[in-house]
Amino acid sequence: MITDFETNTIYFSERLKTDKRFTKTFKEITSVLKSIGIEPKLLPKTKDIWARDYMPIQVTKEKFIEYRYDPDYLQKAEKGYRNLKSYPDIVCDLIQLTTEKSDIILDGGNVVKSNNCLILTDKVVVENRLSYSKTELIKKLKRIFKVEKIILIPWDKKERFGHSDGVLRFINSNTVLISEIYEYDTKLLYNTPQKLDNELS
């Protein structure tokens, strides 16, 4: 599994550049990146600035997994929600990125990865309950992402998106730094780096 530390290209939604609400921030970010020799690229035909949520997940140098990006928070009846949904197959075609498609419903914001482990909130089980049992889903996630461990952490319903990337991050392959904003009675303590020696599933 390719880790975030091993990637060498930064993409932003083009909306950061074209939407007046974000242009100042975009200029500041790109200025800093360019000062250290990084030239970011833009993703066309995006409807949402949060590209991490809908763009494919890199597994190897040439393999990118395109999951079903159909989160519950974009299925509301209220006007405007569906207008925020980006379609990764359209974006990938335009940047000439070949992907391997999966039928798993997933949100990239709910994927924190090391070279051999994925951490997700258990919202992924809820979203895929009509197609996969929990055991089947974990097996498939291991297979398509080429990892040995899948760790499921509780979905705090106060965080409506069910993302794991706002809760923790890998420091190295076996240790994560966990935010103190969540406290659960689980095997993971959300206040100090913890060794990930056991699969929670």
* pLDDT tens digits for range 25-42: 999 999 999 999 999 999
Measured CA to CA, the distance from residue 142 to residue 134 in angstroms comes to 12
pLDDT at residue 196 greater than cutoff 50: no
Mean pLDDT, the chain, rounded, equals 87
The two counts, helices (H) then strands (E), for the chain are 6, 11
Q: What is the pLDDT of residues 39-66, one digit of tens each?
A: 999 999 999 999 999 999 999 999 999 9
Task: Read off the tokens for 197.
Answer: 């020696």
User: CA 18 from chain center: how many Å?
Assistant: 24
Q: Is the pTM of this model over 0.85?
A: no
- For the chain, which domains are there? 4-195 (3.75.10.10)
Q: Cβ(67)–Cβ(32) under 8 Å?
A: no
Q: How far is CA 73 from the centre of its chain?
A: 15
Is the predicted pLDDT of residue 127 greater than 60, yes or no? yes
pLDDT > 90 fraction of the chain, expressed in percent and rounded: 68
Helix (H, G, I), strand (E, B) or coil at 40: coil
